[in-house]
Amino acid sequence: MTKIEFTQQVAQHTDSLRNYAKQFTKDIDDTNDLLQDTILKAITYADKFKDGTNLKGWLYTIMKNTFINNYRRVVKTNYLIDKSDELSSPQLYASASSNFGENGFIRRDIEKAMSKLSSDYVIPFTLYFEGYRYHEISEYLNIPIGTVKTRIHIARKQLKSSLKTYNPN
């Protein structure tokens, strides 16, 4: 049997193959993909088909095996790859790479920018950065809460100006 004759015989079974594929996939696009994969494999491996045997049965076997292999691949991929939109802290930590040399440069630049600030601004800013609330800083330094907010705002502004190389905007 020539390649053309074989291809014509395979084409005669397209409708029954499509119906068989629908039983597996339940989706029209997946059905068409499975049908296309099956026909492509059948034509590619036409030399493996023995004349006089059941072509329709051979095509069904190719389709069934193709579906099973694709299903296993998808299940394995979904098991190995987390496709959730949100990444948890452990996922970020596991996937992040650290560059301690770069971190050292950044730390030194921050320290240099902080050293340029007056202690009137550094102390409230540092306390706020460490997690203290405005009223706690106000009580600790014995200054009005408005002054604390102003000093922190000015410190931020000056630091932002000094560290603009790290600002992506």
Return the closest-CA partner of residue 159 out of 103, 121, 104: 121
pLDDT at 46 over 70: yes
Establish if 88 belongs to a structural domain: no
pLDDT at 92 over 60: no
65: containing domain: 3-80
Establish if 143 belongs to a structural domain: yes
Query: CATH number of the domain that 72 lies in?
Result: 1.10.1740.10
For the chain, the average pLDDT equals: 83
| Distance from the Cα of residue 169 to its chain's centroid | 24
Least confident of 4-8, 80-84, 122-126, 161-165: 80-84
Cα–Cα distance between 52 and 111 in angstroms, integer?
A: 84
44-51: long-range contacts (C-beta < 8 A, 24 or more apart)? 46/3, 46/6, 46/7, 49/6, 51/1
Are 8 and 71 within one domain? yes
pLDDT at 100: 63
- In the predicted model, what is the mean pLDDT of residues 85-100? 56
